[in-house]
Amino acid sequence: MTRVSISRTYFVMNIFNPVLTLAVLLCTLNAQAATNAITRETVAEAEKISGLHFTDEKREMLLNGLNSRLGDYNVIRNTEIPYGTPPAVLFNPIPVGFKIPHEHKQAKFSSFRKVKRPDNLEEVAFWSVGNLAALIKSHQVSSEELTKMYLGRLKTFGPKLECVITLTEDLALEQARRADKEIAAGKYRGLLHGLPYGAKDLFATKGIPTTWGAPPYTNQVFAEDATVIKKLEQAGAVLVCKTSMGELAMGETWFGGKTRNPWNLKQGSSGSSAGSSAGTAAGLFAFAIGSETHGSILSPAAVCGVTGLRPTYGRVSRTGCMALSWTMDKIGPIGRTVEDCAIVFNAILGPDGLDQTLYDAPFNYTGKADLKKLRIGYLKDDFAKKKTRTFDDATLKKLQELGAKLIPITLPTNYPVESISFVLSTEGATFFDELTRNNKDDLLVQQGKGAWPTAFRSKRFVPAVEYLQAQRIRYLVIQEMDKLMRDIDVYVAPWDVGQNLLMNNLTGHPAVGLPNGFTTNGVPTAISFVGKLFGEAELLAVAKAYQDATPFHLEHPEAFCLKGSRSRQ
């Protein structure tokens, strides 16, 4: 019986006799369960999935409960669960004894140099947030002019990169004109006022398609904006597009193609914040918003040569955001500089009264770090594992030149982080439960053993006991990471070697990734810095000190530069 027919039966019977209604409903569900009765043989085969072995006597005693549970599953599946509903069990990344800082101070950003509008406005396409803000605040350019310039670039270059799912031109021009009126009236909202940006297409936008990069959702439209979109609108930012994302937040392939790397169009841009990173690197907007569950900010930022911040778990609201893993999803900015990320992060962080995983922790950013006084660690063994160490060795050397006394450290190895990583896809299988049960996963572009359809199906067979045991091990990993972080303030790591990326995402620690060189083929390389929980201010300040002493963030892909050569800001 379908959901509709059960609900209709319940409605009719309820009018006359509530008790009879319940009886009819249970009989209906039990009849359904009987047609798929579980036998001792079924249990014996299922034991193999869980790595268990019971006797026939024990299997027999399980049958009544297991068959009854099928009816419970049907009741659950016929209960409407609104899209944004999280599980009642919330993930806690806070180690025992850890004290969240409470003293809020106003973030202090750089005093941006005086800028002059160039004759051709398109020359500012790669400027930083701070310099673009200075241009607007000094009334040398209007938000509408800047927005039209970026819209033009999006129309020209977006198709080449396959990095845009929806161009929000009408909304953008409306927001830009509003920003110009407010600024003209002396109501300047701050550094993001009037600046165009792109948002990964897993953030709900009122009246505009939010496709999650997947065919089953191409016509999906929500009636309300995600909290992050609302906060950026409050800051005066201008949404110019919904950027491409790997299908249901995996990889760089979506229903419209494969997002390209601006530095080499034959390569992909990695994922899943693919369009946000590629578009930022190609100068198609001032900054972008992405999300990370297991590398989806740091990976595409590294490949595309931009800067990405993955904040502490519980820092930025996920209300109105597609869930992949409720216990691992994090939202963060992607920009051309570390300070771009700091400015945007300052605008989007904090509680919204809806997402119950959020913490009201301060972001006391000053952008200043005395590397001589800080305890900066580095993953010595991970650096040694890299086949090409030229750029990473140069990074460590530069940090030492800046005064850092690097401390060799090793990540905790007591517990098997790879073996518990299935919590991510298990939670994803829960969010996309109906997609699997209705076989709509057949519509996804990516199929095969490593794709979501297979992963979600396989996670139907993860025992609840093992899922919770994995979360218990995760708790122990959190305590071990806390012990490590007590001895250092920040540590530097290769972004793509070892267990660092997975472990940080499991424990909820913040990280920032930024370019640290170019290969002989002209493709960017990257380095990552990892900070304490809620330690983004210090983390970003250290990364900024390194970035300010190097030129890599000032280089841009020549195919997207005005004069056909790498453009320096």
In the prediction, which pLDDT does 24 show?
A: 41
Q: Are residues 199 and 303 in the same domain?
A: yes
Share of the chain above pLDDT 70, in %: 92
Q: How confident is the model at residue 28 (pLDDT cuts 50, 70, 90)?
A: very low
From 128, 244, 270, 296, the catalytic residue: 296
Q: Are residues 238 and 355 in the same domain?
A: yes
Report CA-CA distances (Å) from 80 to 71, 85, 322, 426, 502.
16, 10, 18, 20, 33
Q: Does the structure show a pLDDT above 60 at 17? A: no
272 is catalytic: yes
In a domain, 387, yes or no: no
Using one digit for the tens of pLDDT, what is the confidence trace for 370-387? 999 999 999 999 999 988
Using one digit for the tens of pLDDT, what is the confidence trace for 228-260? 999 999 999 999 999 999 999 999 999 999 999
Alpha carbons within 13 A on the beta-carbon side of 516: 27
Cβ proximity of 269 and 303 under 8 Å: yes
111 is catalytic: no
In the prediction, which pLDDT does 36 show?
A: 58
Q: Does the structure show a pLDDT above 70 at 548? A: yes
Cβ proximity of 552 and 517 under 8 Å: yes
CB atoms within 10 A of CB 380: 13
Q: Are residues 163 and 51 in the same domain?
A: no
Task: Confirm whether pTM is higher than 0.75.
Answer: yes
Q: How confident is the model at residue 11 (pLDDT cuts 50, 70, 90)?
A: very low
Domain that holds residue 30: 3-77
Q: Are residues 138 and 41 in the same domain?
A: no
Q: Does the structure show a pLDDT above 70 at 522? A: yes
Query: What tokens appear for 415 in the block?
Result: 């517990």
Cβ proximity of 495 and 474 under 8 Å: no
Q: Are residues 327 and 209 in the same domain?
A: yes
From 128, 142, 200, 242, the catalytic residue: 200
**Stretch among 16-25, 192-201, 355-364 having the lowest mean pLDDT:** 16-25
Using one digit for the tens of pLDDT, what is the confidence trace for 98-147? 999 999 999 999 988 789 999 999 999 999 999 999 999 999 999 999 99
Using one digit for the tens of pLDDT, what is the confidence trace for 34-88? 455 899 999 999 999 999 999 999 999 999 999 998 999 999 999 999 988 999 9
What size, in residues, is the chain? 569
Q: Which backbone phi and psi does 38 adopt, to 5 degrees? A: -90, 135
In a domain, 364, yes or no: yes
Closest CA to 468 of 431, 435, 427, 428: 427
CB atoms within 10 A of CB 278: 37
In the prediction, which pLDDT does 387 show?
A: 80
Q: Are residues 146 and 273 in the same domain?
A: yes
CB atoms within 10 A of CB 508: 25
Using one digit for the tens of pLDDT, what is the confidence trace for 385-422? 988 899 999 999 999 999 999 999 999 999 999 999 99
116 is catalytic: no
Question: Domain boundary residue among 43, 77, 111?
Answer: 77
From 143, 244, 269, 272, the catalytic residue: 272
Q: Does the structure show a pLDDT above 80 at 200? A: yes
In a domain, 247, yes or no: yes
Rounded-to-integer distance, Cα 551 and Cα 517, Å: 9
Report CA-CA distances (Å) from 401 to 388, 494, 517, 546, 549.
22, 19, 17, 10, 10
Q: Does the structure show a pLDDT above 80 at 25? A: no
Cβ proximity of 179 and 141 under 8 Å: no
Rounded-to-integer distance, Cα 320 and Cα 361, Å: 22
Q: Residue 83 burial by CB count (10 A; 0-12/13-18/19+): exposed, middle or buried?
A: exposed
Q: Which backbone phi and psi does 459 adopt, to 5 degrees? A: -75, -5
Q: Are residues 171 and 307 in the same domain?
A: yes
Mean pLDDT of the chain: 92
In the prediction, which pLDDT does 13 show?
A: 33
Q: Are residues 10 and 69 in the same domain?
A: yes
In a domain, 474, yes or no: no
Question: Domain boundary residue among 77, 104, 134?
Answer: 77
In a domain, 12, yes or no: yes
Query: What tokens appear for 229 in the block?
Result: 């979109």
In a domain, 509, yes or no: no
Q: Does the structure show a pLDDT above 70 at 174? A: yes
Query: What tokens appear for 29 in the block?
Result: 């569900």
Share of the chain above pLDDT 90, in %: 90
Q: Are residues 73 and 128 in the same domain?
A: no
Report CA-CA distances (Å) from 150 to 143, 154, 186, 334.
11, 6, 25, 17
Question: Domain boundary residue among 77, 98, 131?
Answer: 77
DSSP 8-state class, residue 554: G
In a domain, 103, yes or no: no
Rounded-to-integer distance, Cα 557 and Cα 536, Å: 29
Q: Does the structure show a pLDDT above 80 at 31? A: no
Q: Does the structure show a pLDDT above 80 at 7? A: no
In a domain, 279, yes or no: yes
Q: Are residues 335 and 234 in the same domain?
A: yes
| CATH number of the structural domain spanning residue 269 | 3.90.1300.10
Using one digit for the tens of pLDDT, what is the confidence trace for 456-488? 999 999 999 999 999 999 999 999 999 999 999
Q: Is 413 helix (H, G, I), strand (E, B) or coil?
A: coil
In the prediction, which pLDDT does 324 show?
A: 98
Q: Are residues 219 and 354 in the same domain?
A: yes
For the chain, how many structural domains are there in total?
2
Q: Are residues 15 and 154 in the same domain?
A: no
